[in-house]
Structure 1
Amino acid sequence: MATTPSTAPAPETLRIALLAYPGCLGTELLGLADLLRLAGQLAQAMDQTTGTTAGQALPPAPVLELVALRPGPVRLAGGFVLSPGRPRGRYGLLLVPGMELGRPEALALQLQALAEEQRFIRRCAARGSVVATVCLGSFLLAEAGLLDGRRATTSWLFAPAFAARYPQVQLQAQELLVEDGALLSSGAVSSVFDLALHLIKRLYGARVASRTARVTLLQPPRSSQAPYVDERLLPPAPPSFAQAVRGWLEARLAEPFDLARLAAAFHISSRTLLRRVRQETGSTPLALLQQARVQKAKQLLLGTRQSTAQIVAAVGYQDVPTFARLFRRLVGESPARFRQRGR
């Protein structure tokens, strides 16, 4: 008796909910939707011409639904108004955009006003949805309790506030995209496109993700926020012993590091100095000096025409390759690349 070859079941269509709420950022909400739609069109075109997955059928295009928990139109940041639908059923992925934050001290009130959204995020996660967030959306996930004991990132500008509010979260502030199980978090606003490329690679493969990046003039997915960090824009850190040590070191960037001299300036022993700095920062005075030197070098690379060698000397190094290795370790790219990209 002849048997009919079994066929694999068709892949399930991925349903993605885009959560709109008052004050959220439209770019983060709709940027991902636009990129996924364009990627689907490119995947189909590539499949018709050269094939994308070695003869395998393309997955069905995801269904994206703009949803909100409040009746009526939703006013986004900037006053733009959308009319989302109500959520229904189970979603394979929930996207939580970040919010506009006019004043840092208003954050607690904004989060309190979004308690209903936090409950919805918890329900989606409990039903098995992948939950992805951009920028300050990580605050909503943390408020919902999803990030306790988990790795996550957020906008580098608000990382100190996040770390202070959620010490139970393993914050990886310099990472641009962090995936911990079914939770994805990304950095500042434009990282929504890195998140989108990450999801496109999952859906359609690396070739489609690469082609989408080229067509839309995006860089390949970035790995770090470090090249974009400008410490001058961060809110002032509260006064502390470690901050005083760093201030003393910053005033003497070009001078050789001398632990005994530093300890004497604060009228304590070297051992006590090391212990107190480590207690407050988890680091060492030398690491604080290295961070300060790299931060100053970043300013000089973008703000002056001095050569790299001149800048390296100005921050206390004689050997350019040695400093370049330190710079790459802390910033994620070489001084030359940092200057080229920044300009």
Structure 2
Amino acid sequence: MLHSVGAVVVDGLSMFEFGIVCEVFGIDRTDDGLPNFDLRICGARPGYPVRTKLGLDLVPSHGLDALDDVDLVAVPATAIHRGQDPAVLDALRRANDRGALLLSVCSGSFLLAEAGVLDGRRATTHWMYADKLAREYPEITVDPDVLFVDDGNVITSAGTAAGIDACLHLVRRELGSEVANVMARRMVVPPQRDGGQRQFIPQPVPPCDDDSLREVLDWAVEHLAEPHTVASLASRAFVSPRTFARRFAAETGTTPARWLTSQRVLRARDLLENTELDLETVARESGFATAPLLRHHFRRIVGVTPSAYRDTFCAAA
């Protein structure tokens, strides 16, 4: 069962991610029939301030020894750097060794990584830091596309809002759906988002140093609704299809077909965010011709359906 939670705070703490942990595990909701968690704010020097990213000071009321008997150790996002306090790292290792639950929010995964807790595991973090996590800790299998990764007693989450998803997932796993659903309603958030959904990462046009090829790419982006083939694009570049495909791959690192699909998905995302056009019209305007074809490619690349994406991001709505 999940009764007690220890939140680890260190210099460089991110207040929003820390607030997520406090919101889920630190508010008394017994009037709603929910369990009340014993939340402990733990630091290396209890009673002494920790400096947050905002320049505010936060004073932990418990020392690291208070983590030794909690059910869950939560690690909010913090500044990313090597050389974290060895006492903090030792406390995380002890928690892992005794089988406690560990949860990181956003860049908090780097603290778990430095403690060695993530070695040999799947994990995630904010998409901006995923390459850094994989590069600096090659023992970890980093999945940059998902909202959170549940790897037994260790759960890592991506940026900010994904931390809410991971916390509610953990509550659901340990205490049941009814508890998680009531908590989500109080927080006015969706009760469950699948951890396998992709983070919404911008996908810009790859840089291109070939002037003639760049002109063709710029033209294609302006005419995505029109049908395109390697041959038709090659003719605009005044080269053979074979030469065009070779130069295209060398410059962009992908094929013309994949590039066109990704650009059409970007166009569809823009239309879904900023217009109320129906899906058939969005499909035609972005070059997919039909709504089923749009759904297929959109879900494959973005990770959710066009309708679900619009519900989340549509400014027009």
User: Do these two structures clear the TM 0.5 threshold for a shared fold by scoring above it?
Assistant: yes
**Are residues 65 and 217 of structure 1, via their aligned partners in 2, closer, same or farther at CA, if it must alter by over 3 Å?**
same
* Aligned-partner Cα distance in 2 for 1:290–1:327: 9
Relative to structure 2, which stretch is displaced further, 164-173 or 128-137?
164-173
Segments of 5+ residues of structure 2 without an aligned counterpart are none
- Contact kept, 8 Å, 1:36 with 1:200, in 2: the verdict is no
Shift of 1:20: 0.4
Cα RMSD (Å): 3.8
Deviation at 1:206, TM superposition (A): 0.7
1:200 to partner: Cα distance = 2.1
Q: Relative contact order (C-alpha < 8 Å, sep 6+): which is higher? A: 1
Q: Partner letter of residue 272 of structure 2?
A: L
What is aligned with 1:331? 302
Identity, % of aligned positions? 30
CA separation of 1:221/1:315 partners in 2, compared to 1, >3 Å: closer, same or farther?
same
TM-score by length of 1: 0.71
Deviation, structure 1 residue 284? 6.1
Structure 1 segment 38-77 matched on structure 2, within 5 A: 38=27, 41=30, 45=33, 61-70=36-45, 72-77=48-53
* 2:22 equivalent to 1:22: no
In structure 2, the CA distance between the partners of 1:203 and 1:149, relative to structure 1 (3 Å rule), is closer
**In structure 2, what is the Cα distance between the partners aligned to 1:39 and 1:251?**
58
Alpha-carbon separation, structure 2, partners of 1:251 and 1:138: 42
CA deviations on 1:48-85 (whole Å, 9 max, x unpaired) are xxxxxxxxxxxx74422111114611122212222212
Aligned: 1:317 with 2:296: no
TM-score, scaled relative to structure 2: 0.76
Q: State whether residues 138 and 153 of structure 1, in contact with CA within 8 Å, keep that contact through their aligned partners in structure 2.
A: yes
- Please point out which of 70, 81, 87 is paired with 1:111: 81
1:228 aligns with 2:200: yes
Count of aligned pairs: 300
**Structure 1 residues 248 and 188: CA distance shift in structure 2, 3 A:** farther
Identify if the C-alpha distance between structure 1 residues 336 and 198 changes in structure 2 by more than 3 Å, giving closer, same or farther.
closer
1:96 maps to which residue?
A: 75
Distance in 2, matches of 1:231 and 1:27, equals 26
State the one-letter code of the partner of 2:305.
Answer: S
Task: For 1:87, give the aligned amino acid.
Answer: L
Shift of 1:133: 0.2
- CA, structure 1 residues 113+169, in 2 after alignment: closer, same or farther (shift >3 Å)? closer
Relative to 1, partners in 2 of residues 1:269 and 1:131: Cα closer, same or farther, differing over 3 Å?
A: farther
State the Cα distance separating 1:182 from its structure 2 match: 1.6
User: Would you say 1:196 and 2:167 are equivalent positions?
Assistant: yes
